[in-house]
Amino acid sequence: MRGARARLRWCGAALAILLLVGGCAPGRAAPGPGDPAGTRDVGVQLFQWTWNAIARECTDSIGPAGFAWVLTSPPQEHVTGPEWWTSYQPVSYRVESRLGTRDEYRTMISTCHRAGVKVLADAVINHMTGKDAPGVGWAGSAYSHYDYPGLYSDAGGDFHHCGLTPNDDIVDYTDATQVRFCELVNLADLATGTAHVRSTIVAYLTDLRSLGIDGFRIDAAKHMPVDDIAAIVSQLPRDTMIVQEVIRGAGEPITPEQYVGNGRVDEFGWGVAVKGLLTGGTASLYRDLGPAWGFVDPDDAVVFVDNHDTERNGTTLSYRQGATYALANVLLLASPYGTPEVHSGYAFASKDAGPAQDANGHVQDATCAAGVGPTTQYTPGGWVCQHRWQDVVGMVGWRSAVGDAPVTHWWDDGSDALAFARGARGFVAVDAGSAPIDTTLPTGLAAGTYCDVITGGLVDGACTGSSVTIRADGTAHLVVPAGGAVAFHVGARIDG
């Protein structure tokens, strides 16, 4: 029931507005790490956004900004209640939820496709509900803890009862058997090794594919055997995108590396490490943040500053950290490591708090206020809209402009400041310290005047923010504000 990791295994023909190059190898995402300039690979998780709101956002913001894909919250029928996690307790596989109807989901997908944005669904297939008492789901389906009419039953052997711990709950994450066969906080654990459970899950995922969905983030993948997931995804079309949530834990026997044969995995370690580097660590160590830190290979990793779980449990930064959080997103989008996913959710005062809902429990459509950013004061229930922050929007374009160019012209002060180029395509400087950085650095870019995409983009040939002048020798005088960044690229050249 944690965040979603999306391995993008697509190879289908890409829309011209999304990809400027064609073709991909079987079983890998297109685009991804190592792609030429002009391609897009950045995803965004619109957590608890309604289907109608996502459709509008694809057209108005996500598509124009250059995002490649959007991750939706789980679309299946769920238990009732105001908390966010009700979406992660399936009652049936009907595509009817407090976020919208089946028709609205289908329409949202086609709308996003027209905007050049692919769509992933958060697929909760490890478990059903965690309710001991019988109930009725959002769309009217009756259920009990281990009985879901027309789907699963205890009598049919559709659930694990590990018998290893009190109440069958996981208590020891160093025991792989417990993690995969006992219950995650009382959630009825599906016996994914059985033919009936597998075929039922495949039928649900196939139904979502029929609505136009491009792929899935497999929730709680860590709690399913690798071979069980393989047996399920092998029955899906070859161009299905797969991302698996496998949380890395120190000293635990289950690791993300074990799952990469099924698709990409979320590399939680990246966000945890960036938090440490920017809040008391040494920011310059960011240079080697990747396999050298024990993370999965770049082509297998989906990386993020935070997701809906980590922003609540504090293992990573969140919108509450304002400027530091924005800096982390700059580093996320500047890095050549992995496929980045930006999180965009709502402000909350308590860990369980759900999104704003009407009197009948329907989630209200998300709206983004003008000028949202790291200094905005958010009230509980208000939409944070991180994907619209200028720091993020500017760096999504920056990432597309630099493509697969290598890291060059590295500079750091051994502490809180760093800067680097991506070949001759882009340059970024970050100051995580308490005082501005005033220095002259080689950039690797051609002489000219460039728009700083952190402070504003290039619109109709005019820079809406600050500008940077690169001299004939390729150097630039940079003043990087404390807790801020400067970034420019070949596509944001004012005099070019």
Between CA 375 and CA 256 the distance in angstroms is 35
What Cα–Cα distance (Å) separates residue 416 from each residue in 61, 372, 390?
33, 26, 22
Dihedral (CA of 85, 370, 373, 320) sign: negative
- Distance between CA atoms of residues 279 and 277, nearest Å: 6
SS3 (DSSP) at 307: coil
| 219 catalytic residue (yes or no) | yes
Handedness of CA 304, 281, 388, 30 (dihedral sign): negative
Q: Which of 189, 219, 412, 452 is catalytic?
A: 219
The DSSP call for residue 58 is I
Q: Please tell me the distance from the alpha carbon of residue 75 to that of residue 119, in angstroms, as a whole number.
A: 12
Query: H helices within 335-470, ranges in order?
Result: 390-402
Angle, helix 226-233 to helix 195-210, in steps of 10 degrees: 50
**CA-CA distance, 380 to 368, in Å (whole number)?**
14
Neighbours of 165 (CB within 10 A): 14
Burial 135-159 (b: 16+ CB within 10 A, else e): bebbbebebbbbbbeebbeeeeebb
| Whether residue 460 lies in the annotated active site | no
Active-site pick, 245, 309, 391, 431: 245
The secondary element (H helix, E strand) that includes residue 102 is helix 102-114
Q: At what angle do helices 322-334 and 268-278 cross, to 10 degrees?
A: 130
In this structure, are residues 194 and 157 in contact, taking their beta carbons and an 8 Å threshold?
yes
- Report DSSP letters for 197-265, one per residue: HHHHHHHHHHHHHHTT--EEEETTGGGS-HHHHHHHHTTS-TT-EEEE-----TT-S--GGGGGGGSEE
**Distance of CA 140 to CAs 15, 46, 97, 357, Å?**
39, 26, 11, 19
CA 355, CA 357: separation in Å to the nearest integer?
6
For the annotated catalytic residues, the residue numbers are 219, 245
